Amino acid sequence: MAIDFETFTLAASTAELGEEPAARAVADCVEFRMDLAERPAEALSGYDGELPLLVTNRAGWEGGAAGDEGRLGVLGDAIERDAVGAVDVELAALDGSRGEAVAAAARGLAEESLERDVSVVVSHHDFEETPPRAELKRSLRRAAAHGTVGKLAVTAEDGADALDVLAVTHELSEAGVAVATMAMGEAGSHTRAVAPVYGSKIGYAPVDPAAATAPGQYDLRTLRRLTDALTSR
């Protein structure tokens, strides 16, 4: 069954599905980083946890560890599992930036996922900077048009960058566009807690603080405490 992302959803990011019991009382789902796992298919087939899975097989060109060969096929196999409620597909794979063959495979994966009642998170990462607001909006709108939620993670150099991310999140959310946003790095770390106030649908945090999968992540319990406090007002 799809993770609907109608309200804020906290994902426990991990490459070890054995961490699910520790996340169960805190998270709403588990983001399984298949690209960082040693035997991802085996782990997925043996998963008997209670939390639904958001499966990610992040490409090397988008900051992950997966090569292109067979990468989308791994996700195609994953969405057949009942425990999988969402899949992450990169915007660059869907929009033709990585070539038409990759785009065709990525679009097929997205379509099949939705047909199987599996939500599609379309993601874009910028590890260098925070683009201008107009570009942030374009990227998020393009991403959201391809799936259930458009996800954007950029790198903030200062508070102005973080403010741009929050402003765009608010504007698009008010317009009915489902987005998940965050600014990576020290200057943007607070956006992970604050963005849900402005409409961001997904937050990511590691169960183990030492196992962060992106710069500036809070640990799971801290992010839950902060988002609950801020969004309950």
Over residues 4-45, the pLDDT tens digits come to: 999 999 999 999 999 999 999 999 999 999 999 999 999 999
233 confidence band (pLDDT: 50, 70, 90): low
pLDDT at 54 over 70: yes
Domains of the chain as residue ranges with CATH: 9-231 (3.20.20.70)
How far apart, in whole angstroms, are the C-alpha atoms of residue 171 and residue 25?
32
Over residues 123-144, the pLDDT tens digits come to: 999 999 999 999 999 999 999 9
Q: Which of 125, 137, 146, 190 is catalytic?
A: 125
137 catalytic residue (yes or no): no
125 catalytic residue (yes or no): yes
How far apart, in whole angstroms, are the C-alpha atoms of residue 125 and residue 127?
6
Write down the pLDDT at residue 133: 98
pLDDT at 147 over 70: yes
DSSP of 36-100, one letter per residue? G-SSHHHHHHT---SS-EEEE--BGGGTSSB-STTHHHHHHHHTTSTTEEEEEEEHHHHTTTT-H
Over residues 62-108, the pLDDT tens digits come to: 999 999 999 999 999 999 999 999 999 999 999 999 999 999 999 99
Write down the pLDDT at residue 207: 86
How far apart, in whole angstroms, are the C-alpha atoms of residue 18 and residue 24?
11
Q: Which of 137, 146, 151, 201 is catalytic?
A: 151
Average the pLDDT over 203-216 and give the result.
80
Write down the pLDDT at residue 217: 85
